[in-house]
Structure formats: C-alpha cells, structure tokens
Structure 1
C-alpha cells in the first residue's frame, strides 16, 4: 500500500516537474499557473471579467495569466492601455496564433491577420467604405431607409411589448450588406436570418468557457464538444458568402463597381496572382469579418440603449425634448445634427460605455521583446486588453458604476469625450467600422426617440442589466414596451 502511494506521488511529482511552467524573468506578476492547465482552473470561464478585476486589485494594472503553457499579459486601466496600444503600437500590433479564433478564420480576413496582409486589407476597407458613402449623405440615406423598417415594426406593436432581440441585428446586417453586396434583404429572408443566427451564436462561444478550454488544452480540439458549433456556423456563413461572390463574378461590369465585392474583384484583376494577398477565398473571409463587425457590435449596443432608456424615463424625456427642439419641422435627422444635441450625444456615448460590448477586444501579441510599465514582455506574448477596466476606471469617470450621461458633459452642459472612452479599442488596431457604428447609433436612436416612447412593461419584473458575456456582450433578453408619442398610456 505504501509502495503504491509512493509510486503515485513520485509519478505526480515527475509530471509536475516535467510540465512546470517557468515565468520569464521580470515578467508581470500573477497567479501561479498549474502544469498543463495554466490558470484555467482558477478562473470563472462563464464570465472572466469579475476575476480579471480581482486579479488587478491584487497584482496591479499589468499582470500575467497562463492559457495552458502560453503566457498572457492583461492590460487594465487607461495608462497601461495607452502605453501598449498607442505609444508602443508597433510592438503590440500582432495577433496571437493557434487560438480558436485563428482556426475559425483560417488566418485570413482582416481582423486577425497582421503584417502586410493586414495593412493592405485594412486600407482597402477604409477606402471602399468612404467610396460607398461613409461619412456622406448617401450612407445616411441607407441607414435612414433601414430605420423605416424598424419604425414600421414598432408602429405595428404600439401599445404592446415586443421582442427586440433580432430587430436591430437585422437593421445592422442590412446596412453593411448594402456596402458589401449592393443590396438589402427582407427581414424574413433566409440568407439574413441564418447568417444573423450563426453570427450571434459564434459571438457567444468565442471568449466563453469552451473557447478557453479549446485554447488551453489542444488535445480536446477534435472532440465533439460545444465549440464545434462555431466551426459549423463558420462553414455555413462562408458558403453563403462564396455564393454571393460567384453571383458577382457573373454579373459585374469591369470598371463599374456596385459594391465592395466588385471593387475587390477589380483589385484582384489589377494585381494579378503573383505574390498578391488578394484572392477569392481571402475575399470570402474578408466579407465575413466585415459582416460580423457590422452586425453584432452596433446591434448589441442598441439593445443596451433601449433597455436603459426604458428604465430611465427622465433620461429618455430629456433626449426627446432636445431632439424636438433641434429637429423642429425637419423631416429626418442628419448625422450633422449631433453637434446641436449635446445631451443626446452624451447619452449615446454613455450607452456605449455601460454596454461594454467588446470587453476584451481581440487579443494582441508582441512583435518583439519589449517593456511595459517596468516589466519585460517577450516577443510573441499574448496581450489581453481589458477594455472593460478602462470604461469603468474610477480615476477617469465621474460616475464609473452607474448609467449617467453626465459622464460626457462638462459643467456648461457641453458634450465632451474623455480619453478613457475606447469601446472600439485604440491605436492602429481600432475597429475600422467605428465611423459607421457611430452614424448608425445616432440616426437610429434619434429617429426612434422622435417617434416613439419606450416603457418598461409592468409585468416584466425587475430590470437585469447584467450582460451575457462573450466576444461581444449583449443584454439578457427583454421585452420592449412601445407607444407612439402623444398617445395614451401603454396597454397591458
């Protein structure tokens, strides 16, 4: 018996020594990792944010955790974020390899690539978005046209409570589709409904518990575990996008681009095959990145906006008063009107802050050995930007833990944007769709607040503001009480 116990203990000790994780010299402090698992067993995988905050309180604004044997540095607070992503943007601009998100995207697209491919495709996206109206009246018209479908749905449900869970996703999806494919889809269209469902399911899996297990334990990656659903969804989205590309190849007229696909196919012809990062499969993955970014983040932010507007009627009424005064008899809102709506602007930015839609952004990696706030960070180290810590940084916000538009107003009631406002990340890796998202949020919120009043349904219980964690956070499902402004009270 004693011999068996001794053998078991010896075997355990041998495995511990064999797989022991060595922390690099002068590396940021952090919880001690367990061989093989790293810190996986010490974190709440359902929602990492609480544990990351507690670790910051113990180890400081820059600390380390281990994903299996891979070291990762977590950035917390404005100073650490700026020093890494802005001041040392080149040193912190890479993306980690061999993670679930890398395998999902197969190393293509734009969001998870780096080097020349990333630079070329990011530049192409920004140029094409501008050419198709970003920041111009033509893009406003696309958005306002899509808002009419939201308003029609709400009008039909006036005096009742409706489920808004996919309403804003359909709008966001269609706005980006007008740029990518040159068309919008009916809200009951199968292409639209299936792709939105696949996108939202993938967003919940990435950064969730099964993705963490996938990243930490490579041996389980081929097992029939829940993370396989994300790969199935990706394959289905890619197939639907490949069909769009095929249709465009048959119908396009060279030199007369209708949308981003036509522009990209034209660029492929111009560059030729030799050594170009532009290719047909890359185009499919590129479209997927843009479709994902253009659908999920803005939609979840809008869901957060109307949750808070319903439950903060004083804020809603003050916005409506300002909107009425500024727009007057004007038929439609314009993005330029934001400059005359400081309180509404402040409310929308405050919604983005509390929505915390992309709390851990996309992970970065170091391009070479470097230093950060006195610590040595080796090349290839995973960098986790905890944007959530910046958006609730007590040293940066007047009301860090409550919904209050005053966070974006000065003493004169003028709109101000604090440096700590970075829901789209910071530096050269900032989301390329930020401009489109800002325009969508403003026009949708202002147009709907002008026409409708939103009320928390009497039978809905106590509002729960706790978001569902994932690559993008979303509010828990709720019902949206709607009535036309100036009409009677909301019915049962």
Structure 2
C-alpha cells in the first residue's frame, strides 16, 4: 500500500513537472527538460559558456532552458541583446527573486533590487553621490593615482622577483571605492578589509558556478550544509561590520556636510523621515554599500589581472603601449584621464582586454516586468532572462578578430579608436553596471602609470600562459605570477 502511494505521488510530481516544462509554440525553443533537474545536465557547470554557444547554434539567438521547473530565456548576440535591454529596456529590467544573489541581498540595494521607484531612487542617489565625490573629476583622479602609488611601492620592493598580482590589484581597487564609501582607505593587511575582498571573490565564484546553479535549481537542497551556505554566512558577517561603521559615522558626522557615501545616505534618510513609506533606510543602505563595493572592485581588479597577463604574452603590444605613453606624456609627472585622447592604442588595448576577458560573462540575471515579445517570441511576465554577454563580445561578424586578443579590433585603418555597438562588457540599458565610469577611469590611470614605470615579464619557469578563465559572476584569470623590471626613469 505504501509503495503504491509513493508511486502515485511520484507519478503526480512527474506529470506536474511535464506540464510546467511544456513550451508554448510561441515561447523560445530549447532542449527537453529532465525531471527535477530541468536542463541543468545540459551544461558544464564549471563553465557553461561553450554549451550555451552550442545550444544557440542549434536553437537560435533566443532560446530557453529550464532550471528545475522554472523557464529561463537566454539572450545571445548583439541584435537580441539590444532589442531586449535597450529597445524594450523596461520590459526586461526586472530582477529574479528566487536565485542565490537575490536571497543574499533580500532584494535590497541596487544590483538585485527589482525594477521600480525604490530601485530608480537608489540608483540615482548612488550615481549622483559618486559624482559628488569626484567621479569624472580631478579629485577622483588624485584618489586613484594616490592608491596606485601604493601598488608602485609594492612592485618596486619586489623588483626582479616574481609577484602574484591577484591580491595587489584587488587591494587597490577595493581601497579606492572604500575611500569613497567609508571616508578612509585601509592598510592592505587590515583584517576587515581582507574579509571584504575574500567575501566578494568567493561569492563571485559561487553565484554563477556549479553550487550557485544547484541552489537556483533545487530549492529543497537550500537548507543543507552545502558550499552555497558559505557566501550567505560571509555576506551576513560583512553586513554586521558595515553596520558598525555606519554607527560610528552617525556619532561623528556633521549633518549636511558629508564626508563620504555613508554620511550622504544618512543626510538623505533625515530629509525623508517625514515621508510615508520612504525607501531610504539602514537595511537598504548596508546592501547598497556592498553593491557599490562589489561593482567597484571585482570587475576592475580582474580586468587588471587579465590585461597584465595578455601584455606579458604579447610583448609587442606592451612595448607599443609604452612608446605611446612616453610620446603622449613627455615630461609630465602624472597621467590624467584627459590624456586618454592622446592614446588611442592604449585605450584599444584596455577595451580589447575587457572584450577578450569577458569578466561579466552572463551579466546579472534579469526578469521580465510584463508580458512582452522578443524577436517574434512571447515572453511571459516574471520569466528569468540571462544575457550571454560573451556571445556578443566574441560574435563573428562584429569583430575583425573575434577569437584572439588583438587591439586592432578597436582601431580603424588610420589608427583611430572606433566605437562599436557590440562592445558591452558592462551590459547595456538602464541596468548596466554601476561601476562602469569608475572602472574606465581606474583601468586607464592605473595601467598607464604602471606601464610607464615597469615592464611586465612572464617567468621563464612558469610554462605557457593559460588564458582559460575561472568562471563565476565575474570571471577571473587562473593564478599566475609576474616578474617586474624597471623602465628607464625620465627626468621631470
């Protein structure tokens, strides 16, 4: 009797699953889903990009997969990406509420907040506050250049020796955004500072990695002591530390004279105290600060590491960068962001490193805010949408050399920098990465400063450079070491 009941129960579950995973005729096509797993077994969970490309070749630029019983639409190629995220931006601007990242943030902050008035107000606040503290101005340049000198000091101390750039670039990128958020930079060996960096790195690997996909696909496993519990605990711990910093600011601040982002947010909270249902509160502030921390650290530091790796493998590109830097700066003591207009090749190298590394391969997951259509398919409200940005950054027909690192992808026959529609390393539309403007400034100023002073050399005993990335929410290069040699000093 018990066995019969179990069989009946399993049969009902299977029937319900088959009903849920049945694709309507006007829904994007895709492979048949397996019971309970959906299409999880169709993907290499260590890095699903190649599998997504194969599925796109079979089913088209817009196809669907099932994560368990939940459908997801995968966007591939420039045309589909722009139609969804630019032309129909509002329709595709939502965020899913049943994935690991949304559970980490509880839908607060900016990155994982769902589309609506609260998200708009916080994004506007974040961008305005970053500009108020110097983004795009000389004061931000000085902040970045000042932090770069700490990197220079470490490299000069280790001249001629092999150095692991991973921690160094993470430290520098994180300290720049910390100085804006918290009003002070941290020593690189500070315990809380290193805990923040480790939390961001670990969460990035988990979020779109195998355990993250299992978490998103199989809700029944979420309570078990599996590896996806680690980012949840680390994130909670860092939130407590940030709350302590906010309390210290609350006790020492002068209203309407903000020293940093925290003070600015506290001012905003006071201004809106009388508003019924104000979206500005301390829980929102803590998550928004961690959003800014992630947006300003992980993609930048990983792009710096990828760029140095590519430059060591392509010594002729590194030498051409150095020559252009010397010619453009001449006797100037420091580079400025405006100097980029005199360095088209350097800009092309940075953009090519962003393209080739594809540090944000699947962007951040979207969801539809209403029933909509895309390239002839009907997409219901609340559908999970995954933009495959790598498919755009490597798209044949959009690039001269789609599968190789080559700065000529961004230069015309006259050696001038060209703007390309398919270049979207930070995504596009209203939900594009908050840290784009800061990242562009950091990448240029840091790389020009370092390439002016140093030559980066691949260690002879390190084998062949491996460009295969470590997949995650943000991709990172495999660990490597670099030998630093001094350039001839120029009298100023």
Give the match for residue 175 of structure 1: 176
Measure, in 1, the Cα distance between the counterparts of 2:261 and 2:14: 53
- Displacement of 1:7 in angstroms is 10
Query: Which SS does the other structure have where 1:427 is aligned?
Result: coil
Query: Which SS does the other structure have where 1:371 is aligned?
Result: strand
Give the match for residue 109 of structure 1: 109
Residue by residue over 1:354-380, the C-alpha shift from the partner in whole angstroms, topping out at 9 and shown as x without a partner, is 110010010111111111001111111
Residues 39, 65 of structure 2: 8 Å contact kept: yes
Q: Of 478, 484, 487, which aligns to 2:486?
A: 484
Measure, in 1, the Cα distance between the counterparts of 2:10 and 2:400: 52
Q: Of 272, 275, 278, which aligns to 1:276?
A: 278
- Displacement of 1:282 in angstroms is 1.1
Change (3 A) 1:12 1:275: closer
Give the match for residue 358 of structure 2: 356
| TM-score of the superposed pair, with normalisation by structure 2 | 0.96
Give the match for residue 192 of structure 1: 193
Give the match for residue 79 of structure 1: 79
Residue by residue over 1:9-31, the C-alpha shift from the partner in whole angstroms, topping out at 9 and shown as x without a partner, is 88765543232122134100001
Residue by residue over 1:83-115, the C-alpha shift from the partner in whole angstroms, topping out at 9 and shown as x without a partner, is 000000011111111111110111111111121
Give the match for residue 367 of structure 1: 369
Measure, in 2, the Cα distance between the counterparts of 1:417 and 1:16: 51
Give the match for residue 223 of structure 2: 222
Q: Of 421, 424, 427, which aligns to 2:426?
A: 424
Query: Which SS does the other structure have where 1:91 is aligned?
Result: helix
Residues 25, 376 of structure 1: 8 Å contact kept: no
Residue by residue over 1:141-200, the C-alpha shift from the partner in whole angstroms, topping out at 9 and shown as x without a partner, is 000000000000011111111111110111111110111011111111112111111111
Query: Which SS does the other structure have where 1:428 is aligned?
Result: coil
- Displacement of 1:35 in angstroms is 2.4
Residues 64, 72 of structure 2: 8 Å contact kept: yes
Q: Tell me, yes or no, if structure 1 residue 41 matches structure 2 residue 41.
A: yes
Residues 74, 387 of structure 2: 8 Å contact kept: yes
Query: Which SS does the other structure have where 2:94 is aligned?
Result: coil
Measure, in 1, the Cα distance between the counterparts of 2:408 and 2:149: 31
Unpaired segments of 5 or more residues in structure 2? none
Residues 292, 434 of structure 2: 8 Å contact kept: no
- Displacement of 1:120 in angstroms is 0.2
Residue by residue over 1:394-438, the C-alpha shift from the partner in whole angstroms, topping out at 9 and shown as x without a partner, is 110000000000000001000112110000000111112211000
Measure, in 2, the Cα distance between the counterparts of 1:124 and 1:258: 15
Give the match for residue 156 of structure 2: 155
Query: Which SS does the other structure have where 1:165 is aligned?
Result: helix
Measure, in 2, the Cα distance between the counterparts of 1:283 and 1:24: 42
Measure, in 1, the Cα distance between the counterparts of 2:280 and 2:8: 55
- Displacement of 1:486 in angstroms is 3.5
Residues 96, 382 of structure 1: 8 Å contact kept: yes
Moved over 3 A (4+): 4-15
Q: What CA RMSD, in Å, does the superposition of the two structures yield over aligned residues?
A: 1.7
Q: Of 436, 446, 449, which aligns to 2:448?
A: 446
Residues 148, 446 of structure 2: 8 Å contact kept: yes
Measure, in 2, the Cα distance between the counterparts of 1:160 and 1:268: 50
Residues 360, 471 of structure 1: 8 Å contact kept: yes
Give the match for residue 251 of structure 1: 252
Measure, in 2, the Cα distance between the counterparts of 1:298 and 1:358: 11
Residues 310, 454 of structure 1: 8 Å contact kept: yes
Measure, in 1, the Cα distance between the counterparts of 2:187 and 2:16: 58
Measure, in 1, the Cα distance between the counterparts of 2:3 and 2:182: 66
Q: Of 408, 411, 414, which aligns to 2:413?
A: 411
Aligned pairs (5 A) from 1:21-36: 21-36=21-36
- Displacement of 1:81 in angstroms is 0.2
Query: Which SS does the other structure have where 1:167 is aligned?
Result: helix
Give the match for residue 344 of structure 1: 346
Give the match for residue 490 of structure 1: none
Residues 204, 472 of structure 1: 8 Å contact kept: yes
Q: Tell me, yes or no, if structure 1 residue 56 matches structure 2 residue 56.
A: yes
Unpaired segments of 5 or more residues in structure 1? 488-492
Residue by residue over 1:178-224, the C-alpha shift from the partner in whole angstroms, topping out at 9 and shown as x without a partner, is 11011111111112111111111111100011111111111111000
- Displacement of 1:385 in angstroms is 0.3
